[in-house]
Amino acid sequence: MARRVLLIEDEPNIIEAVSFILSRAGWTVHTHSDGASAVERVRAHPPELVILDAMLPGRSGFDILQELRQDAATRDLPVMMLTARGQARDRELALSLGATHFMTKPFSNAEVLDRVRDLAGG
């Protein structure tokens, strides 16, 4: 059975490209674009890995991450944060909130694939 990744991102063309490369690599990719309901989406169908954009409509990725880390059910879920802002403070904030990895846009496809494999344990 294919392994599942949840991509929480609101940019349709990024969703399409990332979904394509992950699907081609054998992952089942679920997508979600709304920040406000993202935590419920994770709880309803827990994936093996979450790719979480920092800037989302409805709720920021940082808030979502914080709530995921406060819940015992999702505390250890690997979360890779994506951000278009590469400032040190965003990185520090993401890592202090418990992000498993932090990646700045624009990223390379190979980098995304490598990281997803690493974080999901192969």
Partner 1 sequence: MGLERRGARLAGARIRARRLDLGLAQTALAQQVGISASYLNLIEHDRRRIGGRLLNAIARVLDLDPAQIAQGADGALVGRLEAAAAQHDVPLADAEVLAGRFPGWAGLIAAQAARIETLEAQVAGLSDRLAHDPELSASLHQVITAATAIRSTASILTGGEALDRDWQARFHRNIHAESLRLAESSRRLAGFLEAPGTSDAALTPLDRVERFLDRMGHHVAALEGPNPALSPEEVAMGAPDLDPAAREVLRRWLVTYRADAQALPLEQVAQAWREAADPLGVAARLGCDLPRLLRRLATLPPGAGPAQVGFVACDAGGALGPRRALDGLTLSRGAAACPLWPLYEALSQPGRALRVRAAMPGESGAVVLCHAVGWIETGPDWAGPARPRAAMLMLREEGGAETSGAVPRREVGPGCRLCPRDACPARREPPLVPVRSDAL
Q: Which residues bind partner 1 (CB under 8 A)?
A: 11, 13-14, 16-18, 20-21, 24, 55, 84-85, 105-109, 112
Give the nearer residue to partner 1 in terms of CB position, either 76 or 111: 111
CB of 14 to partner 1, least distance (A): 5
In terms of C-beta distances under 8 Å and separation of at least 24 residues, what long-range contacts does 68-76 make, across chains too? 68/39, 68/42, 68/98, 69/97, 69/98, 71/39, 71/43, 73/43, 73/46, 74/42, 74/43, 74/46
Nearer of residues 23 and 96 to partner 1, judged by Cβ = 23
Nearest distance in Å: CB 87, partner 1: 8
